[in-house]
Structure formats: structure tokens, C-alpha cells
Amino acid sequence: MKPSQYCRNLCRQSKSNFVYAFRFLPNERRRALEAFYAFCTTVDAAVDCHDDKNEARELLLYWHREVANMYAGRPEHPVAAALAPSLTTFHVPRHYLDDIISGCEMDLDQTSYHAFPELEDYCYRVASCVGLVCLYIFGLTPNEQNLKTAIALGKALQLTNILRDIVHDHQLGRVYLPQEDFTRTGVTMADLVNGTNRYGTKELLTLEIRRARNFFAESFAGFPEDRKERRRWMAPLLIGKVYEQLLDRIEADPLAVMRERVTVSRWEKLKIIGRTVGGLYGFSPPL
């Protein structure tokens, strides 16, 4: 199987919101995004799919070496073989890929976060750096404003994921919500799991929702106002709008994340795509 097909298959098997945005990219950029998505998924699975931390650590070391191999032109893994040419074509800085791996390594060494700045650093590595790589693949100029926009959007997406996945992450032994926020609201993890102290729990979740909202607002404010230039941001704008809808669902009933996995349906995603694309091409008010 060709490396590109291997990556495409990984994308097709995924139900990730990111995959919807790939369809609107030119072929070369879409193939690059598929390979990069496969890289992120494979690196993430090295941690989440291995109970043995030593084995997981070895796999992450392997991927650090494979990043070096990609930039040296001698990749071994099929995902690396598919991604390597795009890193050169789109001039993607190597340190972003190493930061993504380092972010995954944090899940091996750290199961909780004392204060929000620590969590924000984690979000930067595992999500903002993904956005920064995408910035280059999308062909967007890596100027100060665009970098800030990509970083803010990554943090917004990751905080939304954290809110949605509280129960699942706790089952893996991880608590991402800062311990300072538990103390401030008088909530314990037992309260979250057992459904006690509902008022405090809602206050805690609302605090994190507000932080995610602020990052969404910062990122959307950074998108260009000119409609033609804004079209170049179509893929990240689609991703942002889908995740903003997910955050809307969580905000409407914050305690729902403790009962079920809150999602955005395929039909809702298609409506968001229609509104966003329509706005970008003048068929509906710009978003």
C-alpha cells in the first residue's frame, strides 16, 4: 500500500471534525493534511493505546527520530514517508512536530495540572502546534497576526476537547482541569464523577467554557475581514465553527459531559459548512 493511501485510510476511519475541512483543499494540500493528521493520530496513539509507559516512551522516542529522518530525507514509517515531502514543499519548521511529540510525552509524566498556565502550555504543544503546521500547509503567511490566530484557535479546540472528554480522560487517570479551579469552586473530582455538588460542578465547567470562548473570540477576530483573503482560511474557519458549535452544546447543559459524550451531528456539521462557505462566497452573510 502506498504511504499516501495508508494515511488516507487512517483519515477515513476517523470521525474527527478535522477531516471535514480537508475536502475543501486543493489536492496537494489535502494530501499533506491527510499525512499530517495521520502523524498526529499515530503519535497520540503511542500514548493512549499502550498501558506500558516504557513502551509508550520508546515509541515517542522513535517518532522524535523519525521527525529527524523526515527532514533528512530518509523516512522509514509509511506515515513519515507520506508527510516528509510536504514538510519541504511547504517549509514547515521542524520544532513544531517535535513540540507535538513532547506534548504527548506530558501525558506520560503528568496526570494533573496545578494552574491554568501549565494546562495552557500543554494545549499549545498538542493543539496550537498542530494549527501552526497547518498554517504552512494551507499556504498562509506565518506573520505575527496569523501565528497568534493559529495559536488561539488551537487552545480553543483543545479546551473544548478537554471539557467533552472529562469522563474518558479520568478513566485514563488524567485530570486536565486545573487543581486551582477545583479549589476555587469547592469541587472535587469525586463530585464530578458521582454527580454531587452540582452547583459547584457547573461553576467549575462554566469557568473552563469561558476560557475556551475567549480563545475562540481571539482566533475569529484574527481571521481577515476581506472575503477573498478569508477564503484562504476556509479549512481552519470550518474547524473552528464546528468546535464552537460543540462548545455551544456543552454550555447549554454543562453537566451533560458527565453523562454522555456531547457531539455535533453530521447534519449539523453540514449546515455549518453550508453557512460558512456561503458566507465566504457571498451567498449568505459573512461569518
How confident is the model over 86-119, as pLDDT tens digits? Answer: 999 999 999 999 999 999 999 998 999 999 999 9
283: confidence class by pLDDT, cuts 50, 70, 90 = low
Q: In angstroms, rounded to a whole number, what is the distance separating the alpha carbons of residues 78 and 82?
A: 6
Helix (H) or strand (E) holding 32: helix 27-48
pLDDT computed for residue 15 by the predictor: 61
Can you give the pLDDT at residue 8? 79
Q: Does 22 have pLDDT greater than 80?
A: no
**Average predicted confidence (pLDDT) for the chain:** 90
Q: Are 180 and 145 in contact (CB under 8 A)?
A: no
Total length of the chain: 287
The CATH architecture assigned to 1-109 reads Orthogonal Bundle (1.10)
pLDDT band at 23 (very low <50, low <70, confident <90, very high): low
Class assignment of domain 111-287?
A: mainly alpha
Distance (Å) of CA 204 to CA 33, 101, 188: 35, 29, 10
| Strand, helix or coil for residue 152 | helix
Assess whether pLDDT exceeds 80 at residue 16. no
The model's confidence at residue 220, banded by pLDDT at 50, 70 and 90, is: very high
pLDDT digits (tens, 9 = 90+) for 43-66: 999 887 777 889 999 999 999 999
H or E element: which one contains 151?
A: helix 144-164
Tell me the CA distances in angstroms from 93 to 61, 64, 117, 236, one per residue in order.
19, 14, 25, 19
> Which has the closest alpha carbon to 178: 154, 211, 129?
211
pLDDT at 270: 84
Enumerate the CATH 1.10.600.10 domain ranges in the chain, comma separated: 1-109, 111-287
> Which amino acid is located at 120 in the chain?
E
Locate 153 and state its grid cell. 484557535
Whether 240 and 230 have beta carbons less than 8 Å apart is answered as no
Q: Which tens digits make up the pLDDT trace of 139-187?
A: 999 999 999 999 999 999 999 999 999 999 999 899 999 999 999 999 9
Range 268-276 average pLDDT? 86
Mean pLDDT of 277-284: 72
Question: Do 57 and 90 meet the contact criterion of CB atoms below 8 Å apart?
Answer: no
pLDDT of residue 17: 57
3-class DSSP state of 127 = helix
Neighbours of 143 (CB within 10 A): 10
